[in-house]
Structure 1
Amino acid sequence: MEQKVFAFLMFSGQADEAMKLYVSAFEDAGIVSAKYYPQSEPGAKPKVLHAIFSIKGQQVMCIDNQLSDSHPHAFTPALSLFVNCDSEAEINEVFAKLAEDGKVLMPLSPSPVSTLFGWLEDKYGVSWQLNLPAR
């Protein structure tokens, strides 16, 4: 079945870097497509016109906000990406990688409905809830 609803993340110049971090954090992940703005300066970071990456079969879109100076937008933990992990090793590894230079909102710990659950904001401001479902 074709995916009809996508999370869509708008960054202020870090979309390429963030997308590469996200797909490196998860085993079942990859960049599906990426289109970039033409670089205006030699050696400048690539700016994403439109990209799609996948995590565990779920596709997420992202772009760089070309008007970030005049129309800045920030991410908020009121909306987060919720990912069910497959093992304790996976949730520990992904949590550590995404939390690096970010902010832990809830450290990994057992919950009434999860073997382990943790919530963090990565260094780009994107909020992640990582879950290891109770078996």
Structure 2
Amino acid sequence: MTKIRPFLMFQKAVAADAVELYLAAFPGSSVVTSQPHEDPSKGIMLAELDLAGQRVLVSDSAVDHAFDFTPSSSMFVDVADRDELERLVAILGDGGGVLMPLADYGFSQAFAWVNDRFGVSWQLNLP
């Protein structure tokens, strides 16, 4: 069976920290599987997360790359209410950067676009 899942590749063995942040941001989420690199200092070889029902793969690259995350690829999250939107903006944006501050841009009730401290881009939307 064909499957399509987002894949987040981290550098500098920070995937475990990112997983911790994402599990805190999305209650009820979990680590489905996780396998460390043979050398534990290299972090996670591959883990699968269930984030609010979406399966996401994460990995720490065993080698350095000249590229990293870009906002042109992002995780788009629809939320149920304004409180949840504000909570996610605060948690995911902490230590990262704001690409579009929380506001009404005319295409939904409210929207924000942030990069988390690991460089992953999140579009947070209240439809």
Q: Same fold (TM over 0.5)?
A: yes
Shift of 1:95: 0.8
Match of 1:14 in 2: 14
1:25 and 2:25 aligned? yes
Q: Aligned AA for 1:49?
A: M
One of 115, 119, 123 as aligned partner of 2:113: 119
Alignment TM-score, normalising by the size of structure 2: 0.91
1:65 and 2:64 aligned? no
1:102 and 2:101 aligned? no
Structure 1 residues 113 and 28: alpha-carbon distance in aligned structure 2, compared to 1, 3 A threshold? farther
Shift of 1:3: 7.9
* C-alpha separation in 2, matches of 1:122 and 1:62: 15
Is the CA contact (8 Å cut-off) linking 1:84 and 1:132 kept in structure 2? yes
Shift of 1:100: 0.6
* Secondary structure at the counterpart of residue 104 of structure 2: strand
1:79 and 2:73 aligned? yes
Q: Cα RMSD over matched residues?
A: 1.7
Equivalent pairs counted in the alignment come to 126
1:56 and 2:52 aligned? yes
In structure 2, runs of 5+ residues without a counterpart are none
Alignment TM-score, normalising by the size of structure 1: 0.86
In structure 1, runs of 5+ residues without a counterpart are none
